[in-house]
């Protein structure tokens, strides 16, 4: 996806966030699988959305998928790096479980959140790393994209800021769904791949099942758009945007300006539906979790034994 809004510096500058802490070791895990009659073993790795104490999306799926045993390892506040660390420490280094046992089917169920969305390329790098770790141990990876988020009336979403956040989110969504090339998904982190050269994704990096929650029933697609002309005026005054498009001929410049103004006007339609929000504009409520489960369930493999209509 072209970052026409922010130019060659991209979203890393515009949405700067605190750099991740160095990797640290998780405490030795003590949990183990307990249901021998459940052949599909699922570890859920997420931030606060996965840590929801009510009827979460994974609890709902566990209730309608008869062959699964779920262990929730989500933790409020963790970003992509910490999710990878937690997966390695609590799953791969867990002496109480045997991932090589062929009578069981093991899945990493990852819900990409917003704690590190300000640096989407870094987020993709660590989510990809988690996927690669899972594949290296014979596991499969089911990954949910970020959910719609945002709210009009807040300073952080005024002007062009809302579009910058939407574009950052889409970079992560597009990696989860396999839509973007590694150099677009990873930016400077592409140099850290295990393969050399500007090549497409290899099998170990690809999500087995990706779920697009961003463009789903969760988003408020019928929300009132912002005024297109007002958005256009903001772009016309924005130094970064003008610099990024300075080399375009007049017709191409006008086309880029019109396209970005239109996209900026549609930002409210990429917020979560108000009736599905929890205590803020980020976290879904119980009904929102039901929608996540409904969107996810039809893509689950037959081996899970899911009765999706019960949702």
First-to-final CA distance of the chain? 34
Kindly indicate the confidence band of residue 226, based on its pLDDT and cuts at 50, 70 and 90.
very high
Q: Which residues of 100-121 are buried (b: 16+ CB within 10 A; e: fewer)?
A: eeeebbbbbbbbbbbbbbbbbb
**What is the reported pLDDT for 26?**
67
Mark out the alpha helices in the chain (DSSP H runs). 10-14, 57-64, 80-87, 120-136, 161-176, 182-186, 228-237, 239-244, 250-265, 286-296
Residues counted in the chain: 311
**What is the reported pLDDT for 175?**
98
109: which strand partners?
A: 44, 142
Centroid of chain to Cα 173 = 5
Whole-angstrom CA distances from 236 to 78, 163, 256 are: 38, 15, 11
- Res. 8: pLDDT tops 70: no
Encode pLDDT of 194-213 as tens digits: 998 889 999 999 999 999 99
- Res. 18: pLDDT tops 50: no
**What is the reported pLDDT for 25?**
63
163-191 average pLDDT score: 97
Centroid of chain to Cα 121 = 11
Encode pLDDT of 106-144 as tens digits: 999 999 989 999 999 999 999 999 999 999 999 999 999
The model carries a pTM of 0.92
230-258 average pLDDT score: 95
Q: Which long-range contacts (CB under 8 A, 24 or more apart) does 220-224 make?
A: 220/148, 220/268, 220/269, 220/270, 220/271, 220/272, 220/273, 220/274, 221/269, 222/269, 223/268, 223/269, 223/271, 224/268
Classified as helix, coil or strand, 298 is helix
Task: Report the range of poorest mean pLDDT among 25-39, 232-246, 290-304.
Answer: 25-39
- Res. 185: pLDDT tops 60: yes
**What is the reported pLDDT for 27?**
78
């Amino acid at each position: 996806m072209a970052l026409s809004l922010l130019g060659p510096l991209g979203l890393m500058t515009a949405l700067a966030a605190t750099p991740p802490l160095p990797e640290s070791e998780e405490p030795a895990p003590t949990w183990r699988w307990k249901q021998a009659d459940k052949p599909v073993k699922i570890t859920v790795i997420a931030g606060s959305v996965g840590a929801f104490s009510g009827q979460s999306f994974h609890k709902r799926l566990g209730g309608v998928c008869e062959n699964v045993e779920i262990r929730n390892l989500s933790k409020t506040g963790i970003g992509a790096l910490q999710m990878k660390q937690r997966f390695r420490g609590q799953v791969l280094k867990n002496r109480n479980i045997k991932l090589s046992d062929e009578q069981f089917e093991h899945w990493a169920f990852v819900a990409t959140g917003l704690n590190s969305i300000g640096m989407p390329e870094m987020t993709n790098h660590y989510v990809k790393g988690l996927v690669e770790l899972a594949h290296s141990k014979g596991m499969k990876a089911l990954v949910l994209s970020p959910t719609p988020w945002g709210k009009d009336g807040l300073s952080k979403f005024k002007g062009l800021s809302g579009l910058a956040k939407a574009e950052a989110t889409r970079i992560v969504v597009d990696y989860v769904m396999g839509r973007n090339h590694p150099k677009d998904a990873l930016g400077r982190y592409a140099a850290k791949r295990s393969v050399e050269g500007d090549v497409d994704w290899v099998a170990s990096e690809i999500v087995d099942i990706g779920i697009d929650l961003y463009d789903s029933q969760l988003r408020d697609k019928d929300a009132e758009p912002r005024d297109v002309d007002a958005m256009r005026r903001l772009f016309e005054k924005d130094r970064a945007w003008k610099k990024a498009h300075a080399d375009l001929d007049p017709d191409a410049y006008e086309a880029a300006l019109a396209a970005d103004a239109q996209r900026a006007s549609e930002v409210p339609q990429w917020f979560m539906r108000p009736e599905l929000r929890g205590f803020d504009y980020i976290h879904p409520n119980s009904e929102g979790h039901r929608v996540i489960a409904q969107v996810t369930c039809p893509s689950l493999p037959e081996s899970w034994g899911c009765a999706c209509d019960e949702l």
